[in-house]
Amino acid sequence: TYGQVAQEIGQLRAVRAVPGVKKVFVRSGLRFDYAMADRDDSFLRELAEHHVSGQLKVAPEHVSDRVLSLMGKPPRRTYDAFAKKWAAINRELGLKQYLVPYFIASHPGSTLEDAIELAEYLRDSGFVPDQVQDFYPTPGTLATAMYRTGLNPLDMQPVYVAKGARERSMQRALLQFDRPENRALVIDALRQAGRTDLIGSGPGCLVR
């Protein structure tokens, strides 16, 4: 709500006003979907102007809307809109500050096709992550229930799960498709998925 946004801004300003405090940085943990609910962008402007040191880490986690739905995350368009707004606000402020998105490989529901969709998104954005997190089961989570049962407990519908080491490695490699050590895995994944159009020297290819 507007009152909550005002309260958060007030807290940031209060910390900045503490004697001896030079800078207060927010490096990660921002819920970009909540930030998009701010009706006048005052929170994002405050954040960009005073509380980011070059980079802000955010966690879209995937770009496939089907996988995002299973994660309980907002659809891809929400992150795209946030990234566009963040860039616009920083341009207005005359700042060069960038988003560092976090993605996860082999989450329940993610097929090779979904991993390829994410790889194409990374190709088009010009950002290939230095680090990629593989999904690992964590007790007591909805995702782990999907991983163990192959079902979504919320509606009992089947959920695809990549459990084999080979496919998990391929999904991870696709998220870092530009690394030489991943070339063979990426080619195998693209061939298995029938996407040999992404192998070659063309501008849209992931690997030569």
Span 11-66, pLDDT tens digits: 888 888 898 888 888 877 788 998 888 888 888 998 999 999 889 999 999 999 99
Q: What is the pTM of this model?
A: 0.89
Contact 30, 56 (CB under 8 A): yes
Contact 174, 115 (CB under 8 A): yes
What is the DSSP pairing of strand 157-158 with strand 55-61?
unpaired
Q: Which residues of the chain have pLDDT under 50?
A: none
CB-based burial, 134-148: b 16+ in 10 Å, e otherwise: ebeeeeeeebebbbe
Tokens 């809307």 map to which residue?
65
Q: What does the block give as tokens for 67?
A: 């996988």
Residue 97 CA to residue 90 CA, distance in Å, equals 7
* The pLDDT of residue 5: 65
Q: What does the block give as tokens for 126?
A: 């010009």
Q: Indicate the DSSP class of residue 199.
A: B
Residue 120 CA to residue 63 CA, distance in Å, equals 10
Give the neighbor-by-neighbor strand order of the sheet with 98-105: 55-61, 98-105, 133-134
**Helix/strand/coil for 66:** helix
* The pLDDT of residue 72: 94
* The pLDDT of residue 131: 84
Q: What does the block give as tokens for 72?
A: 């309980």
* The pLDDT of residue 61: 95
* The pLDDT of residue 29: 78
